[in-house]
Amino acid sequence: MNQSNKPKGWFWIISIIAIIWNIFGVLAYIGSVTLSSEQLEAMSEAERNIRETTPSWATSAFALATFLGLLGSILLLLRKAIAEKVFILSFVAILVQFYYALIVVDSISIHGTAALIMPLIVILFGFALIIISRKCVAKGWLN
């Protein structure tokens, strides 16, 4: 490997941050599908109704968004160009997931405008990972 194809220090930092971020996403997904009856009972009726009636396509989108995001991050750290494609698939799943949460369910009416904060952060982070991986491919850092 010549010096021009050697990733800069920020590449490794972003790769590790992306892995940590996506581990939290996977944990959030696992937590959402393994709620105990006590946890469900502690929710408001509106929140409980959302959890109990979420269609499988929305739950699947959440799973794909998080697990593909983690896979893409690992592939980025391993310097694999396919990371970009995996991030794109994860991003599509993110959009589907938040379409359900924000449009179909209208979580803003239940939780207020604060319900927009995390979706916006996730969307921006997902988009940023696509752009970063694309730039890394162009620089020859990923193969």
Q: Cβ of 65: how many Cβ atoms within 10 Å?
A: 26
On whether the CB atoms of residues 85 and 103 are closer than 8 A, the answer is: no
Answer yes or no: is 108 within a domain: yes
Residue 25, domain member (yes or no): yes
Residue 31 lies in a domain: yes
Query: Residue 126 corresponds to which amino acid?
Result: G
Take residue 21 and report the two structure tokens written for it.
Answer: 């971020």
Residue 9 lies in a domain: yes
What pTM does this model have? Answer: 0.91
For 8-58, what is each residue's pLDDT tens digit?
Answer: 999 999 999 999 999 999 999 999 999 888 998 898 888 888 888 999 999
Query: Residue 143 falls within a domain, yes or no?
Result: no
Domain count, the chain: 1
pLDDT in tens, 72-122: 999 999 999 999 999 999 999 999 999 999 999 988 988 889 889 999 999
**Exposed, middle or buried by CB within 10 Å (0-12, 13-18, 19+), for 142?**
buried
- Examine residue 119 and state whether it is found in any structural domain, yes or no: yes
Residue 97 lies in a domain: yes
Domain range for 39 is: 3-138
